[in-house]
């Protein structure tokens, strides 16, 4: 038997070598092979129901009060949430608000109020008494919450649109917990962010100046003094104004990576912390609420790491020793010794929450009751996500992640390339419901953070030089798949590609131009012509009526501004739409009828073209859906349809049968039913 296995392995190696012939020679990746061996040695994961991957996190927006005496959070309850508060010294949690549409919460500086942000309203809720107030957001004023006012006991800063004839101006307003409003500034330009001194005066602001972003200091008389003119994809966030006249920032001006910065009183820019590995942008910086000094910085584009800054370094090191292998997040509490700690992982839908006593060094688990955990999939049944990097065929190092199903020989498993949207976005090391769903069905999942992705520095984002069609960006995905196959990960005869938005576009590219590699594709909300889609987005779509119109400048810098005829022509020539005649692989397309990011008419026109030439294609349209499915049944339909398509062409377990409501939804909304869905598209039999 051992000789037979050895012969099979040798034959498999020859196949892999032939498939990977276009990839630069590379030796075995020790980290990947070690992870594969560890996962293969585990018991196979139990097949979990689709519902396990549809549930949202049970607890969201968990926040420690500035004094460290209470933790507040939002507990999911169907389509709404309840506001909960727990004393850190011990005792039971209590419900502060029984039902709210809020998705974000913040503490006031004095810890006596909670600010709840819903899509269309802001509620100010007292912690120790009844009452409170609510103010609308959006509307003709396009009112938005900017941040909690750090200079006041209990207030927020709002940004509002003021229309005067054909002109518009932008007003920065302070509103306290009793509803009192004070106008702090009015500006002809869209203001991204502001910093206030201890007296509550705006001393710095960042705004969009019509063709670029810029940072200004605000003089006592209100006049502006330019400090930084920012280049495309350079960003700054104003974290705090210090007593010595310096500004605490995070961003990437004057450098490649996003990092923690201090702008000194003489306007010298100094780096306080950046990724020690020199491969990831700053993801999060934590301030001490009492001193406004940075205490921790997290980087999550490759291997997730959190580092203490200054005197907080030993505190973070002590926490990390007690939570090995976890992605740690912290919230400090001013003069208190209490810290709130989150522990995340790719195998945890919900973070684990702890209180850490910085004086005694102990961790205490909180918020872990079964009711709080909900229906989270068991961690033991989920797949480890491994950070990888590989050399593309032009020699550039590209980053990404691989999910390896437990108890499965990865050399014999079907391989699915999952491509992220954007493209100005990136995969992270944390929990991903779609990827874990696929891995639970036995698929190896490959997530490429191809060049052009964010999270790896500004130079990495600009590296494509506009080649987003059947060119360099797509080749990074293809090279990554072939590199994995050469590493013995994935069955080369069973490779698929899936993605949403730009990921859907990449799926169409893969099936059109690399059909020898990709056998099937699933595309969510895919633009079939990126040039046309980008032009529509900035002229008529969601970005067309946003007050911050910097997207056009960003696209121009990335050579993606399709309002320029030459760019539009170049992208069109490389598009799946212009090359539809080459598309022959089976394809599932899913879209929302009221999507304002990718026009539904572009999607339906492309599908009609494929259908006319007899390409096997299925189209599922959510009649009330936007860019991504939100409601439970459309979300389940997304997973069910994806699983059905992949199983038919790549193998794997037969999908869990669709319930009555899901079948009815599919019958009603399958606009085009390929052979994989013919039975579901038929009317229900008469009783």
pLDDT in tens, 521-562: 999 999 999 999 988 888 877 666 566 667 778 888 888 887
- Give me Rg for the CA atoms of the chain: 26
- Three-state DSSP at 589 gives strand
**According to the model, what pLDDT value does residue 327 have?**
97
The answer to which of 208-217, 369-378, 538-547, 626-635 has the lowest mean pLDDT is: 369-378
Q: Domain ranges for the chain, please list them.
A: 19-53+378-681, 59-307
Helices (H), 242-361: 313-322
| Class of the domain covering 59-307 | mainly beta
**According to the model, what pLDDT value does residue 546 have?**
64
Q: Looking at residues 17-23, what average pLDDT do you find?
A: 41
pLDDT range class, residue 55, cuts 50, 70, 90: confident
Beta partners for residue 366, in sequence order: 353
**According to the model, what pLDDT value does residue 124 have?**
96
Q: Looking at residues 590-618, what average pLDDT do you find?
A: 96
User: Buried (b) or exposed (e) across 377-410, using 16+ Cβ within 10 A?
Assistant: beeebbbbbbbbbbebeeeeebbbbbbbbbebeb
Q: What is the pTM of this model?
A: 0.91
Instruction: Give domain 19-53+378-681's CATH superfamily.
Output: Alpha/Beta hydrolase fold, catalytic domain (3.40.50.1820)
pLDDT at 13 over 60: no
Find how far residue 83's CA is from the centre of its chain. 24
Interatomic CA distance for residues 535 and 551, integer angstroms? 11
Mean pLDDT estimate for the chain: 91
**According to the model, what pLDDT value does residue 18 have?**
37
**How many other C-beta atoms are found inside a 10 Å radius of the C-beta of residue 612?**
9
Return the percentage of the chain with pLDDT > 90, whole number: 80
The single residue listed with the structure tokens 């020679």 is 25
- 264, 258 in Cβ contact below 8 A? no
pLDDT range class, residue 21, cuts 50, 70, 90: very low
From residue 390, alpha-carbon distances to 76, 125, 419, 483 in Å are: 40, 50, 16, 7
More confident residue, 590 or 685: 590
Beta partners for residue 342, in sequence order: 329, 353
Whether omega before 531 lies within 30 degrees of 0, making that bond cis, reads no
Interatomic CA distance for residues 158 and 148, integer angstroms? 9
Interatomic CA distance for residues 352 and 340, integer angstroms? 11
Question: Which positions ≥6 away from 368 have C-beta within 8 Å?
Answer: 352, 353
pLDDT range class, residue 233, cuts 50, 70, 90: confident
Q: Looking at residues 428-442, what average pLDDT do you find?
A: 96
pLDDT at 346 over 80: yes
The answer to which of 5-19, 287-301, 516-530 has the lowest mean pLDDT is: 5-19
């Amino acid at each position: 038997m051992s000789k037979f296995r050895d012969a099979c392995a040798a034959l498999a190696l020859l196949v892999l070598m032939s498939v990977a012939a276009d990839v630069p020679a590379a030796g075995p990746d020790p980290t990947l092979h070690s992870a594969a061996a560890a996962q293969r040695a585990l018991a196979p994961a139990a097949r979990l129901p689709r519902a396990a991957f549809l549930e949202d996190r049970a607890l969201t927006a968990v926040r420690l009060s500035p004094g460290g005496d209470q933790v507040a959070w939002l507990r999911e309850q169907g389509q709404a949430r309840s506001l909960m508060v727990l004393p850190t010294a011990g005792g039971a949690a209590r419900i502060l608000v029984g039902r709210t549409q809020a998705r974000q919460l913040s503490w006031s500086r004095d810890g006596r109020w909670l600010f709840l942000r819903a899509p269309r309203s802001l509620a100010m809720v007292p912690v120790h008494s009844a009452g409170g107030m609510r103010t609308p957001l959006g509307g003709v004023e396009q009112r938005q919450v900017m941040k909690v006012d750090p200079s006041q006991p209990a207030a927020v800063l709002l940004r509002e649109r003021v229309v005067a004839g054909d002109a518009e101006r932008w007003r920065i307003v302070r509103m306290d917990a009793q509803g009192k409003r004070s106008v702090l500034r009015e500006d002809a330009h869209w203001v991204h962010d502001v910093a206030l001194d201890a007296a509550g005066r705006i001393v710095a602001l960042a705004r969009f100046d019509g063709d670029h972003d810029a940072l200004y200091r605000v003089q006592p008389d209100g006049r502006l003094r330019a400090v930084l003119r920012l280049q495309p994809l350079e960003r700054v966030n104003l974290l705090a104004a210090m007593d010595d006249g310096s500004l605490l920032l995070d961003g990437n001006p004057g450098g490649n990576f996003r990092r923690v910065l201090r702008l000194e009183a003489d306007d010298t820019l100094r780096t306080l912390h950046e990724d020690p590995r020199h491969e990831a942008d700053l993801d999060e910086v934590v301030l001490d609420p009492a001193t406004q000094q940075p205490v921790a910085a997290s980087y999550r584009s490759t291997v997730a790491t959190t580092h203490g800054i200054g005197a907080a370094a030993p505190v973070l090191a002590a926490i990390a020793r007690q939570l090995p292998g976890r992605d740690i997040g912290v919230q400090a509490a001013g003069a208190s010794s209490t810290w709130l700690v989150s522990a995340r992982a790719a195998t945890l839908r919900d973070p684990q929450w702890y209180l850490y006593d910085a004086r005694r060094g102990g961790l205490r688990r909180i918020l872990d009751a079964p009711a709080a955990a909900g229906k989270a999939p068991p961690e033991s049944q989920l797949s480890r996500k491994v950070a990888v990097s590989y050399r593309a065929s032009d020699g550039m190092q590209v980053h990404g992640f691989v999910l390896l199903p437990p108890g499965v020989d990865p050399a014999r498993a079907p391989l699915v390339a999952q491509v992220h949207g954007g493209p100005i976005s990136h995969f992270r090391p944390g929990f991903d419901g779609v990827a874990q769903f696929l891995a639970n069905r036995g698929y190896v999942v490959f997530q490429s953070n191809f060049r052009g992705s964010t999270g790896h520095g500004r130079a990495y984002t600009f590296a494509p030089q506009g080649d987003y069609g059947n060119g360099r960006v797509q080749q990074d995905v293809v090279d990554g798949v072939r590199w994995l196959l050469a590493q013995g990960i994935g069955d080369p005869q069973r490779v698929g590609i899936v993605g949403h938005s730009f990921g859907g576009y990449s799926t169409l590219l893969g099936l059109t131009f690399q059909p020898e590699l990709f056998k099937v594709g699933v595309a969510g909300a895919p633009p079939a012509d990126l040039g046309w889609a980008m032009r529509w987005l900035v002229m008529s779509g969601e970005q067309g009526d946003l007050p911050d119109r910097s997207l056009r400048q960003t696209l121009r810098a990335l050579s993606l501004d399709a309002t320029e005829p030459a760019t539009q022509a170049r992208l069109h020539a490389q598009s799946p739409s212009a090359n539809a005649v080459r598309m022959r692989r089976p394809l599932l397309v899913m879209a929302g009828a009221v999507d304002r990011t990718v026009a539904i008419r572009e999607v339906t026109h492309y599908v009609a073209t494929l259908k006319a030439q007899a390409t096997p294609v299925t189209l599922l349209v959510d009649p009330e859906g936007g860019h991504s499915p939100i409601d439970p049944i459309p979300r389940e339909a997304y997973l069910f349809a994806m699983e059905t398509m992949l199983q038919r062409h790549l193998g794997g377990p037969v999908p869990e049968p669709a319930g009555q409501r899901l079948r009815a939804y599919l019958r009603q909304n399958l606009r085009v039913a390929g052979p994989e869905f013919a039975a579901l598209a038929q009317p229900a039999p008469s009783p």
